[in-house]
Amino acid sequence: MCAIITYARSDLSQSFFEEMLAKTISRGPDMSRVQKVRGGYIGFNRLSIMGLTESGMQPFNLNGNTVVCNGELYGFKALKKYLEGLGYSFKSESDCEILLPLYEKLGTKMFALLDAEFACVIYDGEKDKFIAARDPIGIRPLYYGYDSDGYIVFASEPKNLVGVCNKIKPFPPGHYYEDGKFVCYRDVTKTKELSMSDVQNSEDIYRKESLEDITKNIHDKLFRGIQKRLDADAPVGFLLSGGLDSSLVCGVAAKLSDKPIETFAIGMDIDAIDLKYAREVADYIHSNHHEVIITKDDVINALEPVIEALGTYDITTIRASIGMYLLCKWIHENTDIKVILTGEISDELLGYKYTDFAPSAEAFQKEAVKRISQIHMYDVLRADRCISVNSLEARVPFGDLDFASYVMGIDPERKLNTYGIGKYLLRKAFEEDQVIPHSILMREKAAFSDAVGHSLRDDLMDHADKTYTYAEYEIARKKYTHATPFTKESLLYREIFEKYYPGQSEMVVDFWMPNKSWKGCNVTDPSARVLSNYGASGE
């Protein structure tokens, strides 16, 4: 990860801007740089991943233009070779150095051509304006706001903007900003034929493919998505929960690697559910496996730093973040690894436990569209912050644009759980490969916070219950008109959030919850544990 920040105000003091940039030094501890341009300031904190020498340090400059980018541009070597053929010369091995030549040739059309996880800001020196863009899923973070005089500020995290901007907003994924407007350049929730919003009006917008073709494409596209994310000049590690998604990422990576990969798992000291499954996968793929054991005190002590890092009050996100945060903290403190591959986004594409209750294929698809459109506020945010606050970089193979776009275009009738097990298409796709044990391939899902240990959720709820009396809870929760807390736990999280991000709750649209309009999903807790179909997934 890296941190970027730009402030379109030329009369700002550099020392003040440097203080803003310093708030996200954990994202890029290797080196920091600030550059004054005619229209304001540009700053960058670097975590060296591709092109480890100082020549790869940003901002990059070319013919009066400047760019900062937090991103990984897959396939950049082919683009670099193409640009060299046009006469461009490069001073580093950094993938992001190609952005200014591309902008010079293509302007904002270049964003739609990038196969990347990125957030970037370009200063066009000739036009004296800032242009910003974010990848279509929002895997790399970007926020914006306006100061009291109306000058726009872009930054990797909201903590850069607290105290400067009255309202802090997430930059919309798949958009670029130019001349005061946000323009959508790619929406991965749309099929090539029709918008998903038109799904109820047509039965013909999905590809007509056989089950064999669908599973082959899922296999091949995910395989390539994992393969391209192994390319790094810094050491790579893998989070392994023992569930389907992270196990597949690790299994494919192990098959592609010429030496044992490094895998990491975490669990509570008294009831860790997934450690045994992670160990089973690790033994099968012959990884160099590490287990981290945590206690109730570790969980409670991590709560405030986790919420400060996340910038959210959402129950699901916070619960699931504690284990990930503590695991990444251990990795940072005990290894030289800088890049982490994770299994996020599979659920949003292919189904959760609660989407088993979808009343129709159209309802399933609408829910997937909603989740993918908002995932930058939830699971993707969790992965980014838990990993980056520990000076590591997250890579998310299930968020590969080719893979995600393909899965969104599969007929949702195929994605419904009519097979007796969730995510059947993904499981079937990797049945022949045998990259992970068959028992893991067909294992029911457990939510990450539950999989770390049922006691983690219980400890957090107990801690919140002891923090407030019922009368105190009823009075305090009514202070918040947006996303009003509905349990003592949600109130506790909101009050910690407000301590660090006062008045900024609208950065997150609402609480992540199952679709309460579906029969079987009208629950008051987001954990899959409360659903009737949880079954053996948590054992």
Q: How far apart are CA 262 and CA 193, in angstroms?
A: 42
b/e map 442-457, b = 16+ CB within 10 Å = ebbbbbbbbbbbbbbb
**Residue 2 annotated to the active site:** yes
Contacts of 52 (CB under 8 A, 6+ apart): 233, 234
Radius of gyration in angstroms for the set of CA atoms belonging to the chain, rounded to a whole number: 23
Structure tokens at 386: 């838990």
- How many C-beta atoms surround the C-beta of residue 296 within 10 A? 18
Structure tokens at 488: 């003592």
DSSP 8-state symbol, 59 = P
Q: How far apart are CA 328 and CA 330, in angstroms?
A: 5
Structure tokens at 466: 């002891």
Counting Cα atoms < 13 Å in the Cβ hemisphere of 178 gives: 15
Whether the link from the prior residue into 101 is cis, omega within 30° of 0, is no
Beta-bridge partner residues of 292: 266
Contacts of 15 (CB under 8 A, 6+ apart): none
Counting Cα atoms < 13 Å in the Cβ hemisphere of 390 gives: 28
Q: Is the dihedral of CA 228, 234, 237, 238 positive or negative?
A: negative
Strand 129-134 to 175-178 pairing: antiparallel
Q: How far apart are CA 240 and CA 267, in angstroms?
A: 11
Burial level of 115, CB count in 10 A (0-12/13-18/19+)?
Answer: middle
Cα-flanking dihedrals φ and ψ of residue 340, to 5°? Answer: -125, 125
Cα-flanking dihedrals φ and ψ of residue 67, to 5°? Answer: -140, 145
Angle between helical axes of 315-334 and 379-388 (0-180°, round to 10): 30
Q: How far apart are CA 528 and CA 513, in angstroms?
A: 10
| Active-site pick, 2, 69, 96, 386 | 2
- How many C-beta atoms surround the C-beta of residue 79 within 10 A? 19
Residue identified by tokens 């960058």 is 44
DSSP 8-state symbol, 157 = S
Number of DSSP helices (H) and strands (E) in the chain, helices first: 19, 17
- How many C-beta atoms surround the C-beta of residue 476 within 10 A? 16
Point out the residues that are catalytic.
2
